[in-house]
Amino acid sequence: MSRTVYVNGEFVAEENAKVSIFDRGYLFADGVYEVTAIIDGKMIDFDYHMERLSRSLRQIALDIPVTIDELRTIHHELMARNNLSNGMIYMHITRGVADRNFTYPENARSTLIAFTQQANLVNPPHAETGVKVATIPDIRWARRDIKSIALLPQAMGKQAAYEKGAYEGWMVEDGLVTEGTSSTAYIVKGAVITTRPLSNSILAGVTRRTLLTLAQETNITIEQRPFTVKEALAADEAFITSASTLVLPVVEIDSHKIGTGRPGPVTRKMRETYIKTAREG
């Protein structure tokens, strides 16, 4: 069934949604994006997504003529028009339409598009079984903190992982795991969760932000430091987080079983707590 999507101030049927071939998003990947999870008709961590979006926009010196409240209304309207109860809303903003020229155009109006995508975030089969991860080299740029729409390295990485039978690729730089191609990476040893600290080397995951708060409230220790692939292979548990996976157990890395090869207790607890909080919050 055709969705209703949002393009520059209008809600239109997806087959009628059009953006110019001169859009700088298309020509230069000159834009930033957000993906917000929807659970039971509720937007999860929306304020954090908007905070990160504002930061990404500032980092690329892109002013937009819409307020956060208007963005919130667009999200609500998309959910309503598409009867979306569970899934995601993707939204991106580019520097707009201009003749192809590397420097920023003076008078271009930014392009804003958004659409819904249905997904069973709470009960997908792989949340029970856990997923496999393959390590791949991190070939990305030096500003991974910006949620840029330039995702070719991640698409290449996810494809390479997929061809090895894995669900996600963990990108590795100098022997250390940076993050998943579209998720944050974690390992668990005993009752300690380890994840890489924030820097320009990774995206500041919104799900990560909430997870760290929840872990603290649950008296689970979090260590924010880089970890090696070797450490990950020797971990008791591993998992990923993102708006599209929530907290998802990882049971195999590069064909090595992690722990028992089944989702572990810390991961299960964090997934349950995350979903419960999202539903109640």
Residues classed as catalytic: 147
**Closest distance of CB 172 from ligand PDD, Å:** 14
Tokens for 169, please give them: 């690729």
# binding residues, ligand PDD (CB under 6 A): 14
- Please identify, using beta-carbon distances, which residue of 79 and 91 lies nearer to ligand PDD: 91
- Please identify, using beta-carbon distances, which residue of 135 and 183 lies nearer to ligand PDD: 183
**Closest distance of CB 101 from ligand PDD, Å:** 28
**Closest distance of CB 200 from ligand PDD, Å:** 13
Segment interacting with ligand PDD (CB under 6 A) among 114-122, 161-169, 179-187, 273-281? 179-187
- Cα gap 67→26, rounded to integer Å: 24
Handedness of CA 202, 214, 115, 2 (dihedral sign): positive
Which of 4, 82, 194, 241 binds ligand PDD (CB under 6 A)? It is 241
Instruction: Return the DSSP state at 105.
Output: P
**Which amino acid is located at 7 in the chain?**
V
- Count other C-beta atoms under 10 Å from residue 213's C-beta: 12
CA torsion, points 60, 65, 71, 77, in degrees to nearest 10? -140
- Please identify, using beta-carbon distances, which residue of 5 and 97 lies nearer to ligand PDD: 5
Distance in Å from the first CA to the final CA of the chain = 31
- Please identify, using beta-carbon distances, which residue of 19 and 35 lies nearer to ligand PDD: 35
Segment interacting with ligand PDD (CB under 6 A) among 56-64, 159-167, 220-228, 242-250? 242-250
- DSSP string of 193-222, one letter each residue: EEEPPPSTTS---HHHHHHHHHHHHTT-EE
**Closest distance of CB 231 from ligand PDD, Å:** 19
Pattern 48-77, binding to ligand PDD, x per CB under 6 A?
A: ------------------------------
1 forms beta bridges with none
**Closest distance of CB 25 from ligand PDD, Å:** 15
- Please identify, using beta-carbon distances, which residue of 98 and 227 lies nearer to ligand PDD: 227
Pattern 180-219, binding to ligand PDD, x per CB under 6 A?
A: --xxx------------------x-xxxx-----------
Which of 7, 12, 35, 160 binds ligand PDD (CB under 6 A)? It is 35
23 forms beta bridges with 97
Residues, the chain: 281
Interaction of residue 116 with ligand PDD, rule CB under 6 A:
no
Instruction: Return the DSSP state at 255.
Output: T
CA distance to 88, 133, 230, 244, per residue, from 119 (Å): 7, 21, 33, 8
Taking alpha carbons only, the member of 278, 200, 280, 279 closest to residue 241 is 278
Handedness of CA 24, 26, 31, 34 (dihedral sign): positive
**Closest distance of CB 99 from ligand PDD, Å:** 29
Tokens for 185, please give them: 């990476």
Applying CB under 6 A, the residues found at the interface with ligand PDD are 35, 179, 182-184, 203, 205-208, 241-244
